[in-house]
Amino acid sequence: MIKRLFFICSMFLLCSCSKLQAENQTEAGTKKLYLKYAKEFTAEFLDNGCTCVKIGTDNYIIVPENADFTDNTDGAVIIRQPLGNVYNAASSAMDLIDSTGSLGKVSMTSTKYEDWYLPAVRSAFDSDEMFYVGKYSAPDYEALIESDCSLAIESTMIYHSPDVKEKIESLGIPVLVERSSYEKYPLGRMEWIKLYGILFDCSDAAENFFEEKCSQIDSVLSDEKTGKTVAFFYINSSGGVVVRKPYDYVPEMIRMAGGEYVFSADDLKTDENSLSTMVIQPEVFYEKAWDTDILIYNSTITGEINTLEDLTERYPMLKDFSAVKKGDVWCTEKNMFQQTTGAADMITELHSIFTENCESKMNFMYRLGE
C-alpha cells in the first residue's frame, strides 16, 4: 500500500514538472514580452530582431535598423527604427516616453504648451525642441512632412477622425493607436512604458523604471485596509456630479491605498460605454457621500480651488458633508492625469492621506485649508 502511494505521488510530481516545463518551453518558444498587469497590448520578439505588437485589433511590426526583414506582413503596420521627430497626439503617452529617457525623439504634439503640466514637456517647448502642430483632428500635414516624421502616436480619439489617420498614413508615416488609458488596473497603465521601451530601443531603462516603481508600493499593498470611505468627484457646469465608475483605475488606486470607494456598481447603475466617468444627480451623490470620511475633488477639470470656503461657496450643498466639517477634503493637482507613471506615487499619497501621515508637500494632491 505504501509503495503504491509512493508511486502515485511520484507520478503526480513527474506530471506536474513535465507540465511546468512544457509551459516554460511554450513561453520561451514564443518569446513574448512578460506583462504583469497590462491587458491592452502584447509583444512578441522574433528571431530576426523584429517585434510584433498587438494593440486591440491592430497589429504592428517594429523593425530595427538593418534588420533582415521582408514586407510580407499581412496588413500589419511597419514601424522602422531608429525613431525621430515623432508626432505624439496621445497625451497619456508623453510621460511614459519621457520616463524611458526618449522625450528628445518627440518633436511634435497636438496639445498646446499651456495645456501641458509636465515640466519636461514645457522645457522642450521652451527650447524649441517640441512644437504644437494643431489638434489631433486637424494636424499640420506640411509640418509632419518637413520634419521627416517617423511615427504618429494617436489615442483612440483618432477613430472619430478616420480621414486624418488615412491622410497621415498616405504620407508614408506609420500610425500607432495606443490604449494605455483603457487599462483598468493602475499599474497596467504604467506598464505601457515597456512598449515605449521597445519602440525607442531602451527596454532596459523601461523595465528598470517599472520594477522600481512597483517595489515602491510593496509596503502599502501589504498594509491593512484603513476602512476610510472616499468619494472622488467634481461638479460640472450643469450642476451634475461627475464620478469615476467603480472599476476605473482611480477607484482601484483608492482601494490599493487602503481606502474604500463609496460608490458601487449597484449604486451607479453604470452603462457599458468606454467612458471612465459618469454623471449622477446631486441628490444621489448627497445620499451616498454626505458622511464619507474623505472627499477628493477633481479640480483638474473645473479649475483650482484653494480653500474649503471657496469650495462651499461654489457648491453650497457640500457644507453639510461630514468630511467638509472635519476638514478632510483634498483636491487634485493639474498633473495627475498627464503623469501616467505617477500611479505608484499617487497610491503612496492616498495611503498617507488615509493613514493621516501627510508630513510633506505632495505632488498630486493638496488639502483644502480653512
Please classify residue 4 by burial: count the beta carbons closer than 10 Å to its beta carbon, then call 0-12 exposed, 13-18 middle and 19+ buried.
exposed
Q: Which residue has the higher pLDDT, 299 or 268?
A: 299
Q: Residue 316: is its pLDDT beyond 60?
A: yes
Rounded to whole angstroms, the Cα distance separating 60 from 181 reads 19
| Cα 259–chain centre separation | 20
Q: What are phi and psi of 143, to 5 degrees?
A: -65, -40
Rg of the chain, C-alpha, whole Å: 24
Position 112, amino acid: K
Rounded to whole angstroms, the Cα distance separating 16 from 12 reads 6
Q: Residue 23: is its pLDDT beyond 90?
A: no
Q: Which residue has the higher pLDDT, 225 or 302?
A: 225
Q: What letters, b where the CB count within 10 A reaches 16 and e where it falls short, cover 334-366?
A: ebbbbbbbbbbbbbbbbbbbbbeeeeeebebbb
Q: Please spell the DSSP secondary structure of 203-259, one letter per residue.
A: HHHHHHHHHHHHHHTHHHHHSPP---EEEEEEE-TTSPEEEE-TTSHHHHHHHHTT-
Rounded to whole angstroms, the Cα distance separating 12 from 9 reads 5
pLDDT given at position 11: 37
Q: Please spell the DSSP secondary structure of 25-68, one letter per residue.
A: HHHHHHTBPP-SS--SEEEEE-TTS-EEEEETTEEEEEE-TT--
Over range 312-327, report the average pLDDT.
95
Q: Please spell the DSSP secondary structure of 302-318, one letter per residue.
A: H----BHHHHHHH-GGG
pLDDT given at position 274: 64
Rounded to whole angstroms, the Cα distance separating 7 from 329 reads 64
Q: Which residue has the cell 458633508?
A: 321
Q: Residue 270: is its pLDDT beyond 80?
A: no
pLDDT given at position 69: 79
Q: What is the mean pLDDT of the chain?
A: 89
Predicted model pTM: 0.87
Q: Residue 269: is its pLDDT beyond 80?
A: no
Residue 248 · residue 278 · CB < 8 Å: no
Over range 117-125, report the average pLDDT.
97
Rounded to whole angstroms, the Cα distance separating 242 from 250 reads 13
Closest CA to 97 of 66, 127, 118: 118
Please classify residue 310 by burial: count the beta carbons closer than 10 Å to its beta carbon, then call 0-12 exposed, 13-18 middle and 19+ buried.
middle
Rounded to whole angstroms, the Cα distance separating 86 from 106 reads 4
Q: Residue 369: is its pLDDT beyond 90?
A: no
State the virtual CA torsion across 136, 140, 145, 151 in degrees, nearest 10. Answer: -10
Secondary structure of residue 140 in the 3-state scheme: coil
Output the nine-digit C-alpha cell for 130. 517640441
Rounded to whole angstroms, the Cα distance separating 236 from 180 reads 26
Q: Residue 20: is its pLDDT beyond 60?
A: no
Point out the least confidently predicted range of 108-122, 291-305, 340-354. 291-305
Q: Residue 5: is its pLDDT beyond 70?
A: no
Task: List residues bridging with 202 in a β-sheet.
Answer: none
